[in-house]
Amino acid sequence: MPLIRIKSLPFAQEVNIPATLGVLSKAVSETSDIDLKHVMATWDYLSPHHYAHNGKVVDCQPDKTHPLLVHLIAPNFNTETQIATMLEVIANTLADVLPVSKENIFINFSPAYSDGIYDAGHVVEWDD
């Protein structure tokens, strides 16, 4: 049930966000051995001039500043290695398909806990 939430400024050039989310979801699914139906990804644009980095605001997504902000939420039963793999796959995939360098991607991870997720009509439990 990984959930990948991405925020960025609008891009100056045309970027196909639906295709990017599809490629990203598939990459995470395949490299993490998670059925694609369990991978969720969203993209939100920040308003121009509403994101400061190094004390500066800009109107569109730069390549080397104002990192893409990515939040990965995944079950706490994943190992550190599995989480690190997901983080690397997310960064590599985004850098491959977007006009943003890998060094300009910031990803944080939050664990999801058994009984702390509601999905498919019920509270989800898993064994630790």
Report the candidate in 3, 1, 2, 7 with the shortest Cα–Cα distance to residue 94. 7
Kindly report the pTM of this predicted structure: 0.94
Rounded-to-integer distance, Cα 40 and Cα 2, Å: 6
The pLDDT-based confidence of 128 (bands split at 50, 70, 90) is low
Q: Which two tokens stand for residue 37?
A: 């139906």
The answer to whether residues 89 and 97 touch, using CB atoms and an 8 Å cutoff, is no
Q: Is 79 helix (H, G, I), strand (E, B) or coil?
A: coil
pLDDT at 127: 78
Span 41-51, mean pLDDT? Answer: 97
* pLDDT tens-place string over residues 93-109: 999 999 999 999 999 99
